[in-house]
Amino acid sequence: METSLCISIFFELFWLDLIPVGTYIPPHLTVATFVALSLTTYFGLDQPGRISFVLFASMPLAWLGTRLEALLREQDRSNYNRLLNWVRNPKNPHLPSLIVMRSVGRTFVLSGLAFYVAVIALMYAFKAFFALYPSRLDIGVTWPHLWVAATLGGLMALRLKRAYAVLAAGIFLFMIFIFWGRF
């Protein structure tokens, strides 16, 4: 339960950048979150260092979910035209409910299929990764580290060049201080 909440907080913070409602289709937060939750449950992962690999691998699925929704919306344009014609000349009283049921059914089937394929593909990829590199999984990352990294989404939402400059300068200074002791 705690792991599920931590994963959900991570994705909520990360996608904070993409809030302009109505301007475009936002990323599918639920796809990335559910895939990450499914894989962490399947592999029995409970440490943030191990879960971070799953989190970062499932992020692109939010964009793929967006593409799928755009495709489904494009297919529904013809139904919209049919509905407009029906409003002008309502011959069949069941046409609106048929249009809605087809659209919901198609969305359910295609989204479910895409989710299943994504989970299976990542499951096999992580099985191979965990078998080949078991020592790479023990990195010293905690949930606060991941949440701080995810809050960069909120900073990027500011869309101000000065905020980006401050972020870049901060990262540069951080890297200097981290690597200063190594040389």
| Cβ-based neighbours of 65, under 8 Å, separated by 6 or more | 27, 28, 30, 31, 32, 111, 114
pLDDT of residue 40: 94
pLDDT, mean of residues 14-24: 56
* Phi-psi region at 159: left, alpha or beta (left = phi > 0; alpha = psi -120 to 50): left
pLDDT at 36 (0 to 100): 93
Share of the chain above pLDDT 70, in %: 84
Query: Is the distance from CB of 13 to CB of 32 less than 8 angstroms?
Result: no
The predicted structure's pLDDT at residue 75 = 86
Assess whether pLDDT exceeds 60 at residue 20.
Answer: no
Among 24-38, 66-80, 83-97, the least confident range: 24-38
Predicted confidence at residue 41, as pLDDT, reads: 93
Range of lowest pLDDT (31-45, 47-61, 137-151): 137-151
